[in-house]
Chain A
Amino acid sequence: MLNVQKLNDPDLDIIDTPVIEENTLDTAITQSWSKIAPFWPLKNLIAVNPLSGFEDLPFEDALKQGQAFFQQDALPKPMQDVNRESIKWLQAYFDNGQSTISMPGRSKGLFSSILMLLPFDKSVNKNNVQWLKNLPDAPQAIIAECLLHLGISKDHHTDFLTLMLTTLPGWAGHVQYRVNWADTQDQNNEHPVTHDDFLALRLILTCLVWPEAKELLQWHQDALENADITDVVSDIEQHEHKYRAVLLDRLSHPKKVVIEQADAQLVFCIDVRSEPFRRAIEAQGAYETLGFAGFFGVPVSIENEISGESYHSCPVLLKPAHHIKESPVCGHDACQSGHDRQQGLKRLYQSLKYNFTTTFALVETLGPLSGLWMGMRSIAPDFANKIKDKATALINPSFDVQTSIESIPFEDQCSFAGGALKMMGLTDNFAPLVIFCGHGSTTQNNAYASSLDCGACGGRHGAPNARILAGILNEPQVREALKKDGIDIPASTYFMAAEHNTTTDAVEIFDNDMPRIHDKALENLKADLHDACAQNTLWRCGELGTKPSNASQHAALRSKDWAQVRAEWGLARNAAFIIGPRRMTKDIDLEGRAFLHSYEWEKDADGSALTTILTAPMVVAQWINSQYLFSTLDNVAYGGGSKITKNITGKLGIMQGNASDLMNGLPLQSVYSSDEQAYHQPTRLMTIVHAPRDVIERIVREQDILQKLFGNGWVTLVCFDPELKQRFVLERDLSWAKVQLNKL
């Protein structure tokens, strides 16, 4: 992972430094970076625990460390100067298409390109040009040299390097993303970065600006000694007690019921926003709903043939196994020319805007129009949207797309299909229509838009994956193969994809190729989805603090309003992860606070499905839960701050105001209903599993990640044992205790 540079590099001989043992420094660097949680760019804001570097500590200790490292109000002033200089360079270096004239020499790498320009920066180098010129070339050698220069003793290397990162956590998080988690596009980014590069840059700037930076160690020591988390912990525990006692009181062991065939089965993402909508559609008729990770078990990357854009559409824990092409259903040429027309107009605008001469004429020509448009969007957003839709339809009409599954080999198709059905427990009793319902959001003027999309699809919309799984399951050969596997899908059953818009609660069903025999059923389903939308938006509008006469219309308007900072609540208030059959939760109003994963323990004899659920979707849910938790606890240190003063830098992240460190979390408006009033309730995740205790115990024993999360109190595990008909909670020492409602 680390770009190890040899310290016996010939260049090093220029300066007279005692050689620091390579291994120790290497370890110190690795250890310092292990404290830094990655932070994704705006294009796909994946939820992450800002304290993920401290998850191997008990929750309380991690909070304490977090407070000392990240939550300090007062940073020594000279260190703030170092940060100011760092931000200046990092902003310019990582810019992803904002500036027209970008920083020169970026292809050389973060540290080399900046080192090349630094001698010209009068604000820092003053008398140090010679020192700068004499620095060795290799980043790691520079780190060693700088640590020496600052007088940091060997014992403190790790601590000091960690502080170099944690005093600028936003950018450090971005670098962590780039180094360890980058998607294909960012891996091939023209301006590369390594862990060593970033540390070397921070250290050089520190040497230049604050040669006495050694004091930082004492500052941190004091912060650690003064850290006090008692109030925070008791606040969290109070919320947890209240929520968990009620939930567990209402949840009981599912009864065996006579299974009646449903008119349709709808599979939704485990996302907490699915739960109230599932309840709403179930109330409309004979519908059965299931919960499954929204990428539907097909780890792919998607490429749009028209726009040429491609992205990973799977959880970031996975690498895409196949590359899928998406093409328009209608004529390719018509869609292509519409797209080209739109791009042409954009290109025209940009060519006039970003140069020296024409910007003046451009504003004078467009001034009247933009004034009018601004007025309309602000005063009559509904009307403005109608006009916008008409204009878009004229220039670049939207088109339905189809997804080709040809690039997935037959064996993989079968394993994806079988794996998904088994894991969600849908292996028999198929309804005539089975709908895989992905989800996505629609918001305007929203830098955080992707944080509302499907996390299981890597922060994108879920329709393509739903389309792929439905396509695979409609293949006769695949069904033939599944039959051998014990999954007998009747010929009369048809699989379809859909997408649930979480902002408007509209569900779009992709029914281009559907056999006409299902027409009637589909018609009914669409009408029922419409009613479910009305029911769910009514509840959601209440949560958003409004009581409109027409809730679905109001929700639709919010999704198109450019001034709206709370188009929807996203996953706020998430608190539980329930793994079990829908029968267990069906008649309970879970208030949109629970992730629901369908699971039938009897169909999972070896526990392999449960292992996957606990180590993949549940881990993702824990990331989401922690992001909301910490963004609520301290929206400045762990969140994004208020949207009203945000400033997007480099098209990749948020700063506050003129310039700041990257803000790494959810904005205030995503978790607070006002500056003072939190909407999200800070609780840790409680996972409830309907499976025998022994099976769970075996899985936990095998999986380090689960021992870490359960053993350190990041997640509380509750077992509904179907055989013993008893409920147990897993204690921190990984022993089982009976559930007592007053002790959760």
Chain B
Amino acid sequence: MSAEFITSLFHIDALSLIMMGLVGFVAIAVGAFASRYLVGDSQYRNFFVLLTCMAASVFVMVSANNIALFLGAWLASNALLVRLIIYKSNWQAAKQSGILAAKTFGFGFVCLGAALGLLAFSSGQTTVQGLLSANYAPTTLGIALSLILIAAMTQSALWPFHKWLTSSLNSPTPVSAIMHAGLVNGGGFLLTKFALLYFAMPEMLTLIFILGLITAFLGTLWKLMQSDIKRMLACSTMGQMGFMIAQCGMGLFPAAVAHLCWHGLFKAYLFLASGGAAQEKRLDLQYPPSIKAFALSLLCGLAGAAGFMLISGKALFAGDTTLILIAIAFIAGAQFAMPLLKDAALKMFPFAFIATALMGTLYGFSVHMLEAALAPLNVMQPHAKTITAHKNQYQY
């Protein structure tokens, strides 16, 4: 095997580097955690072998260019995840969790394999990059993209394929942590990887958006109703996955990847820290706030949205999908300001205003950081400064 052949198998781009960075970092952190957390466990050594293999297979998957290699790595990493979910194989319930996940992943894999096979067959390409640049008949493309979407939905636990995720809590805490920062994000990764093809079918994006939204709503609603910590976290992940897929549906693939990364870290942390859930007291949030506090917090929300726009370089266009992100920043800003303003609304207003603007900026920054790395994917929106925002500035 020549070196050339080997390099031809892989295609390293910003997306694969970001995914490797995320999975590598979480694997190391979770590994360090587990090195003490699992002391005395009969599967101790097994865990680290499986964890390393899974991280390695994810590395291969996110950087593979050869279709067969990509599919192989996809299958391997999911199989390893199933093995980790089962972990205590004598425990029937855990075994069933693994079987459920395996069935779901298996179905997703068949869809993905069929889709890539179809695309490869009709284009004669053997690499993912080749598939992206080929031309297809609309029906072929439609079928293939639908199948990829189904694979993404199974992997990211979108309704109605969510059951495996909410039933996976028989696995040890570190497995949940790595799973929620890792392979559950596969759907977002997959859609982003094939974003260029999806852009050719806007109606498909609308479907993705709607499916994402349904799951975002369901996951978040269910999260609020759960009475045990781990299922709450799992439902929350489901909602976040829905949001991520909805972002994809809006054509905001870089934002989706940013969401995927930051949510992954956040959720992995919460899983590892779930042993302290009983000590975390829920406080009275003193709803509803006074009208004055509410009005002022809306003002603060504007400041937050402005900070977000400024740093992430998003422009305010009616009809542009980024508007939705800005609206979210606005709501988040207002919500952020509300507790700050609850007691002495007027007195606290300047502080809350500045704090919200800062938080908005921070929010914009963390999203922008990853978006910038994925700049080539911003194909749907030209850079803000390259748009003639004022018609009369047009020159010929």
Tell which of B167, B276, B329, B338 touches A446, judged by Cβ atoms closer than 8 Å.
Answer: B276
Type the 1/0 row for B39-81, where 1 means its CB is closer than 8 Å to any CB of A.
1111000000000000000000000000000000000000000
| Inter-subunit contact A675/B41 (CB<8 Å) | yes
- Chain A: interface size category: 35 or more
A90 nearest in chain B by CB position? B227
A346 to B273, CA, bound (A): 16
CB of B276 within 8 A of CB of A350, answer: no
Number of inter-chain CB pairs below 8 Å: 248
A113 at the interface (CB under 8 A from B): no
Contact yes or no, A647 B228, CB < 8 A: yes
Interface residues in A338-395 (C-beta closer than 8 Å to B):
343-344, 346-348, 350-352, 354-368, 370-371, 373-375, 377-379
In contact, B224 and A364 (Cβ under 8 angstroms): no
Please indicate the chain B residues that have their CB under 8 angstroms from the CB of A643 in the complex.
Answer: 37, 275
The interface residues of chain A lying within 8 Å CB-to-CB of B266 are: 363, 366-367, 370-371
Give the bracket for the number of chain B residues in contact with chain A. 35 or more
Q: Which residue of A lies closest to B275 (CB)?
A: A445
Q: Which of B5-13, B125-133, B361-369, B382-390 forms part of the interface with chain A? A: B361-369
Question: Is A99 in the interface zone, CB < 8 Å from B?
Answer: yes
Q: Mark B226-270, 1 if CB is under 8 A from A, else 0.
A: 111111100010011001000000000000001101111111111
Closest to A564 in B: B36
Any chain B CB within 8 A of the CB of A310?
Answer: no
Q: Hey, what's the 0/1 contact readout for B149-186 against A, CB within 8 Å counting as 1?
A: 00000000000000000111111111000000000000
Residue of B nearest to A449 (CB): B279
Are A361's CB and B332's CB within 8 A? yes
The reply to whether B278 and A648 form a contact with Cβ atoms under 8 Å apart is yes
Asked whether B335 lies within 8 Å of A658 as measured between CB atoms, the reply is no
B265, A371: Cβ atoms closer than 8 Å: yes
Q: Are B39 and A358 in contact (CB under 8 A)?
A: no
Residues of A within 8 A of B15 (CB): none
CA distance A643 to B331 in the complex (A): 39
- 0 or 1 for each of A503-521: is its CB under 8 Å from B? (1 = yes): 0000000000000000000
CA distance A371 to B271 in the complex (A): 12
Q: In this assembly, does B340 line the interface, its C-beta being within 8 Å of a C-beta of chain A?
A: yes
A644 touches B277 (CB 8 A): no
Task: Give the segment of B23-31, B101-109, B194-202 that binds chain A.
Answer: B23-31
Separation of A657 and B88 alpha carbons in the complex (Å): 11
On whether the beta carbons of A566 and B39 are closer than 8 Å, the reply is yes
Q: Which of A172-180, A222-230, A666-674 participates in binding chain B?
A: A666-674
Asked whether A98 is an interface residue with its Cβ less than 8 Å from the other chain, the reply is yes
A8 at the interface (CB under 8 A from B): no
Is A618 interfacial (CB-CB < 8 Å)?
Answer: no
Neighbouring B residues of A91 by C-beta, 8 Å: 227-228
Assess whether B294 is interfacial by the CB under 8 Å rule. no
| Residues of the B chain whose Cβ atoms lie less than 8 Å from the Cβ of A647 | 169, 228-231, 274
Q: Chain B CB within 10 Å — which of A95, A371, A566, A649 has the most?
A: A371
CB distance from B88 to the nearest CB of A (A): 7
The reply to whether A367 and B263 form a contact with Cβ atoms under 8 Å apart is yes
**A444/B276 in contact, CB under 8 A:** yes
- In the bound complex, residues from chain B placing their C-beta under 8 Å from that of A648 are 228-230, 274-275, 277-278
Smallest Cβ distance from B379 to chain A, in angstroms? 22
Which of B112-120, B134-142, B280-288 contacts the other chain?
B280-288
The contact of A371 among B25, B282, B339, B359, by CB within 8 Å, is B25
Partner of A447, one of B270, B278, B369: B278
A43 within 8 A of B: yes
Contact present for B232 and A361 (CB under 8 Å): no
CA distance A656 to B275 in the complex (A): 13
B220 touches A359 (CB 8 A): yes
Inter-chain CA distance A278–B173, complex, in Å, is 38
Contact A657-B41, Cβ < 8 Å, known A647-B230, A650-B227: no
Given known pairs A343-B283, A361-B328, A364-B366, the reply for A565 and B269 (CB within 8 Å) is no
Closest to B337 in A: A348
B336 at the interface (CB under 8 A from A): yes
- Is there contact, CB below 8 Å, between A563 and B259? no
Chain A residues closer than 8 Å to B339, beta-carbon distance: 344, 347-348, 351
Q: Point out the residues of chain B lying under 8 angstroms from A675, CB to CB.
A: 40-42
Which residue of the partner chain, among B39, B226, B236, contacts A98 with CB atoms under 8 Å? B226
Known: A347-B285, A350-B282. A562 touches B236 (CB 8 A): no
Task: Chain B residues near A357: list those with CB within 8 A.
Answer: 328, 331-332, 335
Q: Is the CB–CB distance between A447 and B275 below 8 Å?
A: yes
Q: A1 an interface residue at 8 Å Cβ cutoff?
A: no
Judged by a CB distance under 8 angstroms, whether B97 is at the interface is: yes
- Could you tell me if B93 and A364 are in contact, using CB atoms closer than 8 angstroms? no
Picked from A379, A444, A657, the residue with its CB within 8 Å of the CB of B29 is A379
Asked whether A364 lies within 8 Å of B276 as measured between CB atoms, the reply is no
Do B228 and A655 have beta carbons less than 8 Å apart? yes
User: How many angstroms from the CA of A354 to the CA of B37 in the assembled complex?
Assistant: 29
| B265 and A374 contact, CB distance less than 8 A | yes
Q: A99-B225, A363-B240, A669-B40 are in contact. List 11 more A-B contacts (CB 8 A).
A: A344-B339, A367-B264, A371-B26, A561-B36, A562-B273, A644-B37, A645-B87, A645-B94, A648-B277, A657-B93, A658-B230
Q: List 21 A-B contacts (CB under 8 A).
A: A42-B278, A95-B227, A100-B225, A351-B339, A355-B335, A356-B224, A357-B328, A357-B335, A359-B236, A362-B332, A365-B359, A366-B266, A367-B366, A370-B265, A370-B270, A371-B26, A378-B272, A445-B273, A648-B228, A657-B94, A672-B40
7 closest cross-chain pairs (CB), A and B? A367-B262, A371-B265, A657-B170, A361-B332, A95-B227, A674-B40, A649-B228
Interface residues of A (CB under 8 A from B): 42-43, 91-92, 94-95, 97-102, 343-344, 346-348, 350-352, 354-368, 370-371, 373-375, 377-379, 444-447, 449, 561-566, 642-652, 655-660, 669, 672-677
